[in-house]
Structure 1
Amino acid sequence: MRIHPLVVDALIAVALTTVAVLLGQEALRQGWPELDARAYVLVGLVNLPVVFRSRAPLTVLLVVHLACAVYVTLGYWPVVNTFGPMIAVYTVASVYPVRVSLPGAALMCAVWIYAGLISKDAVMASVVGQAVGFSLVLWRFGYVARQSAELARQLKREQDERARREVAEERGRIARELHDVVAHHMSVISVQAGLARFVFTSDPTTAHAALGTISGTSGEALEELRRMLRVLRSGPDDGEEGPEAPDAPMPGLARLGEMTERLSAGGLPVELRVTGTPREVAPGVELCAYRVVQEALTNVIKHAPGATATVELGYLPHHIEVSVTNTRPSGGEGGIPDRLRTGSGHGLLGMRERAKLYGGTISIGPLSEGGFAVRLTLPTSARAAAQGDDATE
């Protein structure tokens, strides 16, 4: 249970006052006048205001030292009221900047030296040393406490800002995933639905095949969306065996054949070529390559009707290369929007971000002989990825 700061200050004030009263009982034995009612009132004025030190540090500092100066002027034992001023100086130093807190420490030092000057048999060298030493030590403690609090607040701000950035990055990642999943599958479904309606009566076999492609594509889209939802719903501490754990692996290079076969069956002639020896690649790298191929083929479906496409996957010693090229569409190069010819657009920006995230390089643009090409290179080792900060071309 967290105790209110005012309660803590009240307890400190009571403790200081109690200690001062107990010390006052020893004044006579130390050769000083016995404390009377007036002295105890001043003792209260020196120590009890500490209860308000958090709310009005400077006011408490001035009141405490004024009462302490009156107390020593009347000839009472100065040691009795030592602790109230010390707490006041520390509090001011822990809250205010040096230009304010250092004069507060100097005020305490001056009151102590003043008490030594008006006291009989006082050794001034010792008094001055104690006054300066205690004042500086208390001020230093307060200063360090203030710096620590500032660092803690700065760390909290940085953590909050980092958390906001991570949330924004995660939202961007999810948006890219949704865009890639929905755009690709809906483009295939749209094309096949148009084909099925066009040949529904004249060519039932083609219409039936188109409906089959729609069924398979929509089922795959739902599967990927369910997987994403399970990932989003599962907490960071949930194990893979938990009830919300995804039950299907993320799409990767092994599923490129399924994608190209589905698109070929749906009317986009796609050829898949694999070179090198297939090997296991990090899941993130596989997903990145899969999504880039998916987005590139989606653009072919939407913007290059009548074209043919080729997907090439090459396994090299330290990286993989993926390229998607398509021939000139039946409508000519004019059928490709300018934003694609220049490598811009939401989906293409997503490709660039994915490539940069995994330390890869990507080039996007038209071919000199007509058509369009997307070429992606991704490192397959963490060391190679770390060296790929300037990833996109």
Structure 2
Amino acid sequence: MGESVIGWMLAALVTVCAVAGRLGMALLRARRSYVKALEERGWLLERERESAARTAVDAERARIARELHDIVSHNVSLMVVQAATAREVLSTMPGEAEAALRAVEGAGRDAMTELRHLLGLLAPSPSGDDEPYGAELAPQPSLSRLSPLIDRVAFAGLPVEVRISGEPRPLPAGIDVTAYRIVQESLTNALKHGDGVKAEVTIRYADRYLRLEVLNTGPSVLTGRADPPPRRPRPPQDGPGRGLLGLRERVAVYGGELDARRRLGGGYRVRARIPLDRP
């Protein structure tokens, strides 16, 4: 009787040991799986961080490219037109030639000011503060500073009529810059069409949206008339729709819409709607 009890206890002990061993192996496998999962998760997180960093860099490069395009394209276009005008009237109307050359100088100074501002935003502050180096060099483009742009374009030979509806009010900085660039790029493109072109700019301040429309006259697509031969060289073209593509990207950032197309009655139309209450 005693031997059978001892045998039963030994068998039970062996069984317990076997179960404990299996549990130990299972726990060890579970721990290894857990450690492996953590390693894989860390690797995935690192990949996600790298991907997010690349996306951020690409987005910043695109933003800088848009800013550079808008600054250079507009001011160089004005400089080309005014320099051509000065060359044509240099011998017959020296006063007009001097005014045109002053406009060239002014466009060059404006371009340098905006470029210094842009580069100042990219450079770190020497003191290590959050404020970018050179950020105080010039105010950002804004609809409140639209008059000098209109004056420069009009002096270059493109008459512009501006209409504002609604109550003008301060806008978020990014939207304000985007709206200014839409008007600037649209007028710059209109300036490239040659002589005899006029433009209209309409700005509507609604409760929830900012609406912009820039129209310019030109040959009708119904009659198929060609552009009239310009009396002066046109500003250089910068590729098929690069400026408009940049405008669409700017507007899309704020959940807005931009439509640009030829008008049946002649010329071109650019319309944009940007929400103002988007979080």
**TM-score range relative to shorter protein:** 0.7 to 0.9
Match of 2:272 among 360, 363, 376: 376
8 Å CA contact 1:320–1:378 kept in 2: the answer is yes
Determine the structure 1 residue equivalent to 2:71: 181
Deviation at 1:251, TM superposition (A): 0.3
Deviation at 1:329, TM superposition (A): 5.7
Determine the structure 1 residue equivalent to 2:156: 266
8 Å CA contact 2:263–2:269 kept in 1: the answer is yes
Query: In structure 1, how many angstroms separate the alpha carbons of the residues matched to 2:49 and 2:180?
Result: 34
Asked if residue 233 in structure 1 is aligned to residue 129 in structure 2, the reply is: no
Moved more, 265-274 or 152-161: 265-274
Query: In structure 1, how many angstroms separate the alpha carbons of the residues matched to 2:241 and 2:227?
Result: 16
Match of 1:285 among 152, 175, 194: 175
Query: In structure 2, how many angstroms separate the alpha carbons of the residues matched to 1:121 and 1:265?
Result: 106
8 Å CA contact 2:143–2:179 kept in 1: the answer is yes
Query: In structure 1, how many angstroms separate the alpha carbons of the residues matched to 2:66 and 2:81?
Result: 22
Query: In structure 2, how many angstroms separate the alpha carbons of the residues matched to 1:128 and 1:277?
Result: 84
**Identical aligned residues as a percent:** 38
Query: In structure 2, how many angstroms separate the alpha carbons of the residues matched to 1:214 and 1:244?
Result: 25
Deviation at 1:271, TM superposition (A): 1.6
Determine the structure 1 residue equivalent to 2:212: 322
Determine the structure 2 residue equivalent to 1:359: 255
SS class of match (1:376) = strand
Higher relative contact order (CA 8 A, sep 6+): 2
Aligned Cα root-mean-square deviation (Å): 2.1
Determine the structure 2 residue equivalent to 1:205: 95
8 Å CA contact 1:234–1:244 kept in 2: the answer is no
Determine the structure 2 residue equivalent to 1:335: 227
Deviation at 1:122, TM superposition (A): 8.4
Query: In structure 2, how many angstroms separate the alpha carbons of the residues matched to 1:158 and 1:333?
Result: 55
Query: In structure 2, how many angstroms separate the alpha carbons of the residues matched to 1:327 and 1:183?
Result: 21
Asked if residue 150 in structure 1 is aligned to residue 40 in structure 2, the reply is: yes
Q: TM-score, normalised by structure 2?
A: 0.85
8 Å CA contact 1:185–1:218 kept in 2: the answer is yes
Q: TM-score, normalised by structure 1?
A: 0.61
Return the structure number with greater helix share.
Answer: 1
8 Å CA contact 2:142–2:176 kept in 1: the answer is yes
Deviation at 1:244, TM superposition (A): 4.0
AA at the equivalent of 1:239: D
Larger radius of gyration: 1
Query: In structure 2, how many angstroms separate the alpha carbons of the residues matched to 1:187 and 1:320?
Result: 27
Q: Deviations over 1:319-370 (max 9, x none)?
A: 111111111169x85339xxxxxxx611111111111111111110111111
Runs (5+) with no aligned partner, structure 2 = 1-9, 229-239
Determine the structure 2 residue equivalent to 1:26: none
Deviation at 1:257, TM superposition (A): 1.3
Query: In structure 1, how many angstroms separate the alpha carbons of the residues matched to 2:206 and 2:260?
Result: 21
Number of aligned residue pairs: 254
Deviation at 1:215, TM superposition (A): 1.6
